[in-house]
Amino acid sequence: MPNLTYKEAIKDALAEELRRDSAVFIMGEDIGLHGGAFGLTKGLFAEFGPDRIKDTPISESIIAGAALGSALAGMRPVVEMMFGDFSALAYDQIVNAAAKARFQFGGQCKTPLVIRMPVGALSWKSAGVVHCQSVDNWYVQIPGLKVVLPATPYDAKGLLKSAIRDDNPVIFLEHKALYEVAGDVPDEDYVVPLGVADIKRSGDTCTVVACGKMVHFALEAAVTLADEGIDLEVIDLRTLKPLDEETVFNSVRKTHRAVVVHEGHRSGGLAADWGMRIYTECLDWLDGPVGWVAAKDVPIPYNDGLEKRVLPQVADIVAAVRKTHGEA
């Protein structure tokens, strides 16, 4: 079983799906000879050529609209947005057209469209207000879209292959800080089903619900808390919509405590949504308040020190877990 980075796993998934299905093609800014802003399509142009690796104008709205049209015509486009933040320029095409097409036509059409978006803050370089946002909540609230955010190379490859084979529009989020994180990825063809969470660490005293980079932070927090006799169960949601509520609720009913962690902003963010679902379905099982860890409600600063003060850190998760146990 080879050891691949998150970035290499995504590239492998793209290449395998391009070889498997002639209807699959990729489109985006500078994805051809240049290989994309983060190098995820590097080398694909040489193998598949300009008909299947399509460079586009610098217009996110045109890219999303053209992709939707080709999906309705029977193709399986995979769009690469240079940054998730820039997808705001394509928001109308994504949420008012792509998300609603199957509903508007009574299920008579399919919309097999994947839009890949690098999101989140880099761990090694600050990039400021319009390159580091978590945009998942922009899309989770829209009926008709599926939203995915893998945390490991294995999940990144398997989830992307599932997304490409799905007949609905899928927003596939890739955390930039994870691109160089390595892990075991099978050689053989495999998929990870959409809508199924994964327990990354089993425990029995508190459930931590997270996604993307925050899964790794939660696992780091678990090491610190283990010395205090607190045994965390870490759930990686993997798919943000549809949400695997059953896995979350079963875990909370076992551990009797919960902390929700999301890199997005506190107001209107996904952590609040997850926490309310836990309160609604698991109140009788809770032995403490649900902990809530999210980014502060300010734009992401460029200064590295300020960025770390705005975004959730491992210490914030540790503090939230201690609070659920009645500790200051």
Instruction: Say if residue 54 is exposed, middle or buried (CB neighbours under 10 Å; 0-12, 13-18, 19+).
Output: buried
Grouping H, G, I as helix, E, B as strand and the rest as coil, residue 193 is: coil
Distance from C-alpha of 159 to C-alpha of 299, rounded to nearest angstrom: 30
Q: Which of 131, 216, 262, 265 is catalytic?
A: 131
Q: Where are the extended beta strands (E) located within 51-119?
A: 53-55, 76-80, 114-119
Picking from 161, 115, 112, the residue whose alpha carbon sits closest to that of residue 10 is 161
Q: Which two tokens stand for residue 166?
A: 């799905």
Q: Which two tokens stand for residue 267?
A: 């107001």
Distance from C-alpha of 210 to C-alpha of 261, rounded to nearest angstrom: 5
Q: Which helix (H) or strand (E) holds 291?
A: strand 291-295
Picking from 209, 146, 135, 144, the residue whose alpha carbon sits closest to that of residue 175 is 135
Contacts of 315 (CB under 8 A, 6+ apart): none
Instruction: Answer yes or no: 34 catalytic.
Output: no
Distance from C-alpha of 63 to C-alpha of 293, rounded to nearest angstrom: 35
Neighbours of 292 (CB within 10 A): 18
Q: Which two tokens stand for residue 296?
A: 């502060």
Which residue has 């599926």 as its token pair? 146
So which residues are the catalytic ones?
131
